[in-house]
């Protein structure tokens, strides 16, 4: 509908279309009596009967009207046109968006702190009024020239604000007036709210949203202002949510080596970007105080003569583009890019909107999708991941997001060809990020194989891969992975889990698998391999008599090989030599080594000799030479002293 030239509610003359979206349009208007320019938001006529859209629109008016602060663009009027269409009048802000300022590159530390402090003060007032913004981003922060302040901040667009307990009754009244129950959620699958690039981890996971989520958004913006880059750099925007949830925040020097950020300022930003909301600053006022303290510690003159709060002026939204203080060049494309309302589409296909997110504070509608989750995830736009976070159990959300992190995380490196022509990123000489290793463990061997190709020199990935195959009963693949691990990292031979894996495979003859297991025990596993062979050679015969005897016999034969015996530790060596000695003098000659080198495994043999002297008239002592001195008792006492307490 062409509304240019119309007068809304008898006093707002529509002069120009600034932007349009699925819900409605934003116009530049003029108050007919005061000759004051305002921004007028109008719902499309077809949205009037949409209970959810109407309730959300009215809630934006309620939120904006309850925040009276000089750093917040105020709502000044709300009502219905003669044809029943809702409209909202907002303060018109003449300036440039923070996004446009960032397009020119990083800002000075002083400028960042001044802007950040004003955002904090705006949030302090909003949170005191029981309102969480939930969509803080550079597009929603305007910089205006005001008196001597070239970067006077105006925070915009409370269209998806969450009303906290203090404003709950008003929110319930809105829902009732629009034909819904008081606690009826304003979210359904496909409704697009928020922006993943600035979304707090708890918000991305569908948990309750508190003022701490706004502080996280401020942290992302401060990081971006200081470095000129977003903290995370996923290969596509769909992976962004997973980075917020699990990826560590990179040091600013890594993202922008040429930028020198004072440690105190970086520490402030990192506090805001804590994954655990309880570890961030307790409130917006604490953030403002921290900014003041950081500036003082760095010797930065903040020029804190910020103008005192004044009543909000009537008017409306923003000016886009151009230097601060310049006349507003109306541009439909710029407005759509910068205005959350014009970006948002409700009731249309999700791909028609550019803003993304969801109403995480309220109960989501159950998902009705019956297709394969991973297949659909790969086909959907970036905001569908957030919809899943709000619609499925939290455990499944974690699996989904770490899967995205695994397959989309990391910086691009030289591609190599894997099996079936698949391109794999190889990062030689580097270790995989711990969060990606954990993610791959959740997903299983296939994901670990992919990560191992990307990080071929990381033993941790191959170790996890071997254990993952073992957990699935794939012994052949597990042993193959162990061999690759030992080639890449011989030190892995001391890994208890790896030794147990190979020993268990050797103890259960399965054709070719036990051949490989014994081959690993006889050489690559070194001392630990010999120790396992010793244990297998002495293993008691169980119900599977033939198999157990076969294992014992095979282990004994392995230990007889000189090349295997060469890998034995001193403790294993004296044990093997003591067993091999058949005559009493030969065993007696070994007691000195037994005293110095023997471990708990030797004790049963020594004690058996001590107790085996002859009994009765016809009995003969098989080891009479052991009684001629105290060498046997001395060896037993020394070994017992070294043996671990039971």
Q: What are phi and psi of 18, to 5 degrees?
A: -100, -30
Q: What's the half-sphere exposure (Cβ side, CA atoms, 13 Å) at 496?
A: 0
Closest CA to 40 of 99, 84, 81, 101: 81
Q: Buried (b) or exposed (e) across 253-287, using 16+ Cβ within 10 A?
A: eebbeeeebbeebbebbbbbbbbebeebbebbeeb
Q: Which two tokens stand for residue 30?
A: 């003029």
The dihedral region occupied by 328, where left means phi > 0, alpha psi between -120 and 50, and beta the remainder, is beta
> Are the CB atoms for 578 and 601 separated by under 8 Å?
no
Distances (CA, A) of 136 to 155, 204, 326, 451: 8, 14, 24, 35
DSSP summary character for residue 329: -
Residue indicated by tokens 């995480």: 360
Residues tagged active-site: 135
Distance CA 126, CA 117 (A): 14
Residue indicated by tokens 């009705």: 368
DSSP summary character for residue 24: E
Q: Which two tokens stand for residue 37?
A: 């320019």
Q: What's the half-sphere exposure (Cβ side, CA atoms, 13 Å) at 263?
A: 0
Distance CA 68, CA 72 (A): 7
The dihedral region occupied by 423, where left means phi > 0, alpha psi between -120 and 50, and beta the remainder, is beta
Tell me what percent of the chain is helix, strand and coil, each rounded to the nearest 5: 50, 10, 40
Q: Which two tokens stand for residue 154?
A: 């105006």
Instruction: Determine which helix (DSSP H) or strand (DSSP E) holds 97, and give its type and residue range.
Output: strand 96-97
Distances (CA, A) of 389 to 59, 386, 437, 443, 590: 24, 5, 22, 18, 68
């Amino acid at each position: 509908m062409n509304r240019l030239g119309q007068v809304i509610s008898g006093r707002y003359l529509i002069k120009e279309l600034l932007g349009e979206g699925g819900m409605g349009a934003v116009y530049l208007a003029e108050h007919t009596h005061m000759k004051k320019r305002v921004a007028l938001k109008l719902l499309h006529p077809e949205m009037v009967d949409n209970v959810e859209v109407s309730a959300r629109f009215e809630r934006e008016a309620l939120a904006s009207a309850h925040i009276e602060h000089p750093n917040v663009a105020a709502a000044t009027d709300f009502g219905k046109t003669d044809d029943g269409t809702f409209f909202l009048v907002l303060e018109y802000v003449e300036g440039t968006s923070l996004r446009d300022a960032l397009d020119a590159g990083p800002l000075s530390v002083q400028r960042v702190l001044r802007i950040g402090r004003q955002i904090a003060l705006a949030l302090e007032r909003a949170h005191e009024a029981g309102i969480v913004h939930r969509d803080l981003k550079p597009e929603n922060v305007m910089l205006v020239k005001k008196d001597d302040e070239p970067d006077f901040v105006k925070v915009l667009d409370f269209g998806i604000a969450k009303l906290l307990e203090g404003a709950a009754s008003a929110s319930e009244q809105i829902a009732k007036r629009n034909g819904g129950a008081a606690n009826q959620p304003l979210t359904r699958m496909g409704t697009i709210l928020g922006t993943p690039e600035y979304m707090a981890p708890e918000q991305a996971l569908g948990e309750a949203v508190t003022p701490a989520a706004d502080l996280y958004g401020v942290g992302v913006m401060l990081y971006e202002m200081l470095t000129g880059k977003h903290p995370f750099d996923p290969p596509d925007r769909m992976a962004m949510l997973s980075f917020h949830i699990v990826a560590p925040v990179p040091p600013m020097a890594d993202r922008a080596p040429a930028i020198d950020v004072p440690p105190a300022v970086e520490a402030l930003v990192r506090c805001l970007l804590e994954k655990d909301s309880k570890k961030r600053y307790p409130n917006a006022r604490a953030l403002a105080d921290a900014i003041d303290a950081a500036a003082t510690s760095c010797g930065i003159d903040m020029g804190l003569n910020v103008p005192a709060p004044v009543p909000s002026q009537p008017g409306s939204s923003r000016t886009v583009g151009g230097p601060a203080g310049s006349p507003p060049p109306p541009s439909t494309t710029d407005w759509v890019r910068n205005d959350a309302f014009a970006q948002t589409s409700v009731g249309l296909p999700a791909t028609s909107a550019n803003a993304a997110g969801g109403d995480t504070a309220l109960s989501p509608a159950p998902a009705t999708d019956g297709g394969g989750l991973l297949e659909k995830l790969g086909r959907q736009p970036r905001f569908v991941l957030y919809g899943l976070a709000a619609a499925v159990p939290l455990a499944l959300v974690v699996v989904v997001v770490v899967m995205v992190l695994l397959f989309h995380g990391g910086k691009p490196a030289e591609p190599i060809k894997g099996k079936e022509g698949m391109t794999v990123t190889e990062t030689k000489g580097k270790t995989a990020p711990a969060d990606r290793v954990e993610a791959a463990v959740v997903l299983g061997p296939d994901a670990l194989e992919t990560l191992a190709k990307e990080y071929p020199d990381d033993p941790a990935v191959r170790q996890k891969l071997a254990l993952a195959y073992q957990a699935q009963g794939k012994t052949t693949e597990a042993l193959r992975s162990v061999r690759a691990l030992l080639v890449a990292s011989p030190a892995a031979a001391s890994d208890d889990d790896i030794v147990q894996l190979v020993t268990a495979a050797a103890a259960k003859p399965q054709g070719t698998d036990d051949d490989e297991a014994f081959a690993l025990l006889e050489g690559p596993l070194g001392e630990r391999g010999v120790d396992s062979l010793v244990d297998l050679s002495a293993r008691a015969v169980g119900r599977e008599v033939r198999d157990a005897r076969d294992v014992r016999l095979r282990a004994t034969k392995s230990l007889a090989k000189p090349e295997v015996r060469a890998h034995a530790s001193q403790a294993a060596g004296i044990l093997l030599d003591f067993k091999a000695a058949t005559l009493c003098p030969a065993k007696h000659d070994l007691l000195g080594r037994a005293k110095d080198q023997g471990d708990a495994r030797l004790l049963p043999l020594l004690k058996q000799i001590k107790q085996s002297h002859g009994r009765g008239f016809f009995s003969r002592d098989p080891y009479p030479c052991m009684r001629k001195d105290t060498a046997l008792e001395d060896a037993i006492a020394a070994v017992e002293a070294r043996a671990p307490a039971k």
